[in-house]
Structure 1
Amino acid sequence: MTTMEKSVTVDVPVHEVYDQWTQFESFPRFMQGVAEVRQLDDTHLHWRAEIAGVEREWDAEIVDQTPDERITWRAMQGTKNDGTVSFAPVDGGSCTRVTLRMDFEPEGFAEKAGDMLHIVQSRVGGDLERFKEFIEHAGHATGGWRGEVKPGDAGTTGSTGAAAPAGGAGTTGTTGTTGTTGATDPAGTAGLGDMSGRGYPTEDDTIPPV
């Protein structure tokens, strides 16, 4: 197993940097090799990415999320791909230190060779630099979700019902709700139409190219 940790200082306040990171579906805009990230609900993501020349798909679960502090996730099947991204204000709060720590288990010859050449570590560093350029160019987040996920809450989405002002108007309930696309959630958690205010970019959002 490979453990890697990279950091970058972003010239944007922590609440904006954190809010942008919660917009998981925007990751392909600055993460090399990531073709798609789909938000399934408040704590589950589906990834499609190329790793060392091999395309893989997997689901990940957010197991710990505290606004303006950290987001921790784990892969639910297949290759181990777990990590934590943490946020800390610096320079009196005008900037943010973003630290990404990942545990990655190479699988197959191509991925093991890539690991030996530190390809994955280099990609993580590059992703952080592209994220820095992305948010600094925009100056503000394209959306945000201020809900909290505590360890042990995974799989119980919509428990907080909190959304950032920049996010979409998600609906959360305890008796079953319907998202904006008409997807009914029989478990009585957040409707999946807009992911409870995760605020994904729409055609009306201005998102700078990177």
Structure 2
Amino acid sequence: MSTLEEHIDIGAPIDTAWDCLHRAEVYPRFLDGVREARSEGEHRTHLDLDAGGRSQGVDIEITDRSMENVMRWQTTSGPDLAGTFSLLPIDREHTRVQARFEYDPGAVKDAFGGPRGFAQAAAIERGMRSDLRRLKQLVEQEG
């Protein structure tokens, strides 16, 4: 498995950012390639993705460690992907969001196409940064 990590500071309280991460219907607004998202129970979400010119449905399971402000997700269908969002309070009005993405490069290539090796990692890293910037904008503008 390969791992990428990024973080961003958000001008909003930790509870506001936490709530946003748990609203599946807003995922298409900040996660590139997510066309539609819907909750399917308390800890399951279905994502309709467009990635690498391919459409695919993916189910994810979400596990919270709410006392630590950590949301972990893992695919239960489609390619083997996992990640975490860790929220750290900077002060009462600012939060650091740390994102971690774990993936098998071969599985990503097979499922979505695109580059291999370093080029793939660079593309995923750019995507994570863009996703986090859009999350920041969403949380700061709408809470």
Does TM-score exceed 0.5, indicating one fold?
yes
- Tell me the amino acid that sits aligned with residue 58 of structure 2: W
Residue 89 of structure 1 corresponds to which residue in structure 2? 89
Q: Does 1:132 align with 2:131?
A: no
Q: Offset of 1:121 from its aligned partner?
A: 1.6
Q: 2 CA distance for matches of 1:109 and 1:56?
A: 8
Normalised to the residue count of structure 2, the TM-score between the two structures is 0.86
What SS is found at the alignment partner of 2:12?
coil
Give per-residue Cα distances to partners, 1:12-57, cap 9 Å, x unaligned: 1101111111111111012211101110000111111122332221
Contact 1:88/1:96, CA 8 A, preserved across alignment: yes
- Tell me the amino acid that sits aligned with residue 111 of structure 1: G
Aligned ranges for residues 64-83 of structure 1 at < 5 Å? 64-66=64-66, 69-83=69-83
**The structure with more radius of gyration:** 1
Q: Aligned-pair RMSD on alpha carbons?
A: 1.9
Normalised to the residue count of structure 1, the TM-score between the two structures is 0.60
Which protein has the bigger helix share?
A: 2
Residue 115 of structure 2 corresponds to which residue in structure 1? 113
Residue 41 of structure 1 corresponds to which residue in structure 2? 41
Q: 1 CA distance for matches of 2:64 and 2:89?
A: 20
What SS is found at the alignment partner of 1:122?
helix
Task: Label 1:121 to 1:84 Cα distance change in 2 as closer, same or farther (>3 A).
Answer: same
Residue 59 of structure 2 corresponds to which residue in structure 1? 59
Residue 122 of structure 1 corresponds to which residue in structure 2? 126
The percentage of counterpart residues that share the same residue type is 25
Task: Label 1:10 to 1:121 Cα distance change in 2 as closer, same or farther (>3 A).
Answer: same
Structure number with higher relative contact order (C-alpha < 8 Å, ≥ 6 residues apart):
2
Task: Label 1:34 to 1:95 Cα distance change in 2 as closer, same or farther (>3 A).
Answer: same
Residue 149 of structure 1 corresponds to which residue in structure 2? none
Contact 2:109/2:116, CA 8 A, preserved across alignment: no
Structure 2 regions of 5+ residues with no counterpart?
none
Contact 2:78/2:111, CA 8 A, preserved across alignment: no
Q: 2 CA distance for matches of 1:115 and 1:17?
A: 33
* Count of residue pairs the alignment pairs up: 138
